Amino acid sequence: MAQYTPMIQQYLSVKAQYMDAFLFFRLGDFYEMFFDDAIKASQELEITLTGRDGGVEEKIPMCGVPYHSAENYINQLIEKGYKVAICEQVEDPKSAKGVVRREVVQLITPGTVMQGKVIDEKENNYIATITDFNDGTYGFAYIDLTTGEGQITMITGDWLDVVSEIYSVGAKEIVVSANHSEQQLQELRDRANVTVSVEEDITIPKVLYETSNLLEQTKLKDTLGRLLQYLVKSQKRSLDHIQPVVYYEANQYMKLDIHSKRNLELVETIRTKGKKGSFLWLLDSTVTAMGARRLKQWIERPLLSKVEIENRLNMVETLLKNFFIRQELQEALKPVYDLERLSGRVAYGNVNARDLIQLKKSLQQVPIILGLVEQLQNSYADALLQNMDPCESLFQLIEAGINENPPLSIKEGDIIKDGYNEKLDTYRDAVKNGKQWIAQLEMKERQETGIKTLKIGYNRVFGYYLEVTKANIHLLPEGRYERKQTLANAERYITPELKEKEAIILEAEEKIVDLEYDLFVQIREQVKTYIPKLQKLAKIISEIDCLQSFAQISEEYQYTKPEFSNDRKIVIKEGRHPVVEKVLNSQVYVSNDCYLDSESEMLLITGPNMSGKSTYMRQIALTAILAQIGCYVPAQKAVLPIFDQIFTRIGAADDLVSGQSTFMVEMLEAKNAITKATQNSLILLDEIGRGTSTYDGMALAQAIIEYIHHEIGAKTLFSTHYHELTSLEQSLERLKNVHVSAIEENGKVVFLHKVKDGAADKSYGIHVAELAELPERLIKRAKEILDELEHGHKSNEPPVPTKEPTIRTDEDAGQLSFFTVVQEKQDRKPKHTTNKQEEDVLKTLQSINLLEMTPLDAMNELYRLQKLMKSKI
């Protein structure tokens, strides 16, 4: 350290405390970064990298951003998952002895950022914590610093359950202890896409003790303590808006693991990672930011309580029946500001006068909303209204104190209304009347001197003055005018009267700005006392907004109120996939039925690719989720059980992040379902086993079906291309075959998208390849090969014995043969002998690794070998 200049030593000393963050080090009007921070920031922010003398021979890498535009650069870094420590000058440079004292005043991270483009108004910005108690349980808590709301629970299970919960709430940052393995932390970064921070202190900070007043378990307090300690240490300011955390049991809600949420595209699409095209996109007809965030929370946590579900459904039904009230309610909700995030900004001390006007306008709407909800005459609505405080006194405070159109800055004046403060009114009167007096004095001096060009002016250096051109100086009376400044063509003077009035006016103008700022801060502190009431009001308004959104969607797409069965029966008449239906817009959606009861627990679905098997499976799951969040469903009739969990394995994709193949991903997701599902769960498995050899795949698929059928008994939809599995309907009494139908017209396949009883008769694979417009020559060749495989070789060839493939688990089981020649075991006499060319072809076939070849390469090689065989006949 001694080799560096005192300022660089100070920088390094501060940086040592924030090694995982960019240190924005205040130097005058810039935030500067040095060493590795400068190199990395210059790349990430695309700003110029320079150097600075720091007491060593080589210049120290340096880059910087202007103080006034720093927020944009900070937001860019936060969006990329970085942290930024803001280091300010905390003493006046004029009075500093040596290097100006500097301290970090705030650590801005993805989970603690309060404003800017990083914050999506329709999404929560959670920071979470996880504590591993090494007994199979984990403490989990999360808080949205922008709104102050937080929840806490205990998770019993494995690390995947933890990752799924973090993914579920959409946390941007996770606070952990240092004893987690690097593998676990990396999995959090990769799968849940979070920034990881470390905090060891688990004591509840005294300033936030109220947030834990409902917690009794030591484990829960330790978990919350870690998160609160991190927030207090990083933010270094008031956190009064943080509400008491709410404890919830994981079994209060339907469990949806990370795979199911992704496969069902609940809040984002798999392909674009965007909201458009997702389940959330379909349902979001909310008109407030608070309502949009609440909707996302409801989608990610469907209810299990039949009473709570039916309360929401009855409210939706009431809103549907009262069309005009619902329309008026939507209009009344539109001007409502984001009360939750406004409360956070009030507590943080960064709210301005315009924000308070927005708050006033929001509160102005509350009585209107109350009146409209009262007209609904619904018991659930009445319960909401009982807890609704319109905060009339807060409205009156802002109405009396804040101007309607205040400036953006709170230090420019013109914020406080006339009549709010007597002292302020006196100052304003002095300024107003003083300026009138100045104008009258100017007129008086012109008359007395006869100088029509005489004028009174003002500047910051000399204050008020009388200006007379040099041609008229001889007209001034002697003794009363005191020369103040000489110009090229004029002289400037002052008089005792002018100086006296100047003192009054300037003092008043200066004190007005300071007094207005003080009065605004006082009003802001009074608003702070209303934060708990505002947060409660925000929750009720957001709930009303969600329910009107459900009613709007249900009416627009003609959804039906679902019923709930006690015998686990599923009856869906004319069901549709809600998102696909919206995307198709004016096109007709082919609806389908689904019937499952105690005698048919499983559907084995066959049918060609692109026929709609996966869509059918997803629509059953989304219908169940819609019902359990309290919304109507896309069907003519729907009777459903209340599912405790939904597991899905739909679509094939390699997990490149963890280096797992398609087949491994299949097996892991299948394992998650069959080890955690209960009889009250819903399982969707799409073409399990296709990622390996035919025999292996069929064997695993059959074993999984049998295990679910015998051991779990969950309602299950299983799609497959292994037509041999359809024979299981004869041996598994609760399994039923269905297929998605298609017909062939003029050599082309037409998908009917209709689910019918029984197994499919064909797969239409080559027809699908034709639709994909593969080369005509390739399609023709594929048809030839298919014909040979289905009907044997040329008619003039002797028939070769064939063998029906069966699922075998012994060591002799292998890949299904593409040829009709069956290699007999050595201890059996062969049906015919092969010549040398045939033996060579067989050896070549045995040496080929089909799994490492593309389909086109495999077909070309097959064609070459067949051509070779034909040439030798």
Contact 26, 67 (CB under 8 A): yes
For 701, the token pair is 């698929």
Tell me if 651 sits within 8 A of 270, measured CB to CB.
yes
Q: Could you give the count of Cα atoms lying within 13 Å of 281 in the half-sphere of its Cβ?
A: 15
User: What is d(CA 332, CA 364) in angstroms, rounded to the nearest whole number?
Assistant: 10
Is 614 within any annotated ligand binding site?
Answer: yes
Do the annotations mark residue 611 as ligand-binding?
yes
Find the farthest-apart pair of alpha carbons in the chain and give their distance in angstroms, rounded.
Answer: 142
pLDDT along the chain (873 residues), means of 10: 85 94 94 95 94 87 93 93 94 83 94 86 92 90 93 88 86 92 86 89 84 76 92 89 87 88 90 89 95 95 95 96 96 94 87 93 94 92 88 94 90 88 87 83 88 88 87 85 88 87 80 91 93 93 96 96 95 94 82 93 87 90 97 96 92 48 76 91 87 77 92 94 88 93 73 85 70 80 76 45 38 38 40 61 74 66 74 57
| Residue among 466, 471, 470 at smallest CA distance from 484 | 466
Task: Specify whether the CB–CB gap between 223 and 141 falls below 8 A.
Answer: yes
For the chain, helix, strand, coil in percent to 5 are 45, 20, 35
**608 labelled as ligand-binding?**
yes
Binding residue per annotation — 610? yes
Two tokens at 21? 């963050």
Going across the sheet that includes 137-144, the strands are: 195-198, 173-176, 126-132, 137-144, 150-156, 246-247
- 405 among annotated binding-site residues: no
Tell me the two tokens of residue 560. 């039906």
Q: Are 226 and 128 in contact (CB under 8 A)?
A: no
> How far is the C-alpha of 3 from the C-alpha of 1, rounded, in Å?
5
Half-sphere exposure of residue 682, counting CA atoms within 13 Å on the CB side?
A: 25
Number of residues written out for the chain? 873
pLDDT value of residue 214: 62
Full set of structural domains in the chain with CATH: 6-108 (3.40.1170.10), 126-252 (3.30.420.110), 284-391+530-556 (1.10.1420.10), 422-516 (1.10.1420.10), 563-769 (3.40.50.300), 811-872 (no CATH)
Q: Is 613 annotated as a binding residue?
A: yes
Other CB atoms within a 10 A radius of the CB of residue 620 amount to 22
Asked whether residue 110 is marked as a ligand-binding residue, the answer is no
Cβ atoms 266, 621 nearer than 8 A: no
Count of other CB atoms within 10 angstroms of residue 434: 20
Burial 682-696 (b: 16+ CB within 10 A, else e): bbbbbbbbbbbebbb
Q: Return the number of other C-beta atoms located less than 10 Å from residue 800's C-beta.
A: 13
**714 φψ region: left (φ > 0), alpha (ψ -120 to 50), beta (else):** beta
Report the relative pairing of strands 22-27 and 84-89 from DSSP bridges: parallel
Report the interhelical angle of 531-556 vs 353-375 (nearest 10°): 50
Query: What are the angstrom distances between the C-alpha of 165 and each of 155, 220, 546, 700?
Result: 9, 16, 23, 29
| Residues 828-846 as b or e (16 or more Cβ within 10 Å = b) | eeeeeeeeeebeebeeebe
Report yes or no: 21 and 83 within 8 Å, Cβ to Cβ.
yes
CB 98 within 8 A of CB 67: no
Binding site annotation covers 479? Answer: no
Burial class (CB in 10 A: 0-12, 13-18, 19+), 555: middle
